[in-house]
Amino acid sequence: MSDIDALKRNPLLTSIFTSGFLIYGGALTAGFGVLIGILVDSATFWLTIPAAGMIYTGIKTTKF
């Protein structure tokens, strides 16, 4: 319970952490998708679609 209370007291930190995680994860996914798509198999270019969704979700403002 104390962990939940700590998160509720500091929503800015939670927002920054989740936004950063989604943007960073989306960029990594897009990078790996393009890199593997060029070098190995062109079907992995499809990884850019969820990567774009992750980046968009990370950039979009959250309204609690």
Task: Parse the chain into domains and list their residue ranges.
Answer: 2-59
* pTM across the whole model: 0.73
**How buried is residue 27: exposed, middle or buried, by Cβ count under 10 Å (0-12/13-18/19+)?**
middle
According to the model, what pLDDT value does residue 63 have? 62
**How buried is residue 26: exposed, middle or buried, by Cβ count under 10 Å (0-12/13-18/19+)?**
buried
Task: pLDDT tens for the chain, 64 residues: list them.
Answer: 666 676 677 777 777 888 889 899 999 999 999 999 999 988 888 889 999 999 998 888 666 5
Residue 34, CA distances (Å) to 2, 11, 31, 43, 46 in order: 42, 34, 5, 10, 9
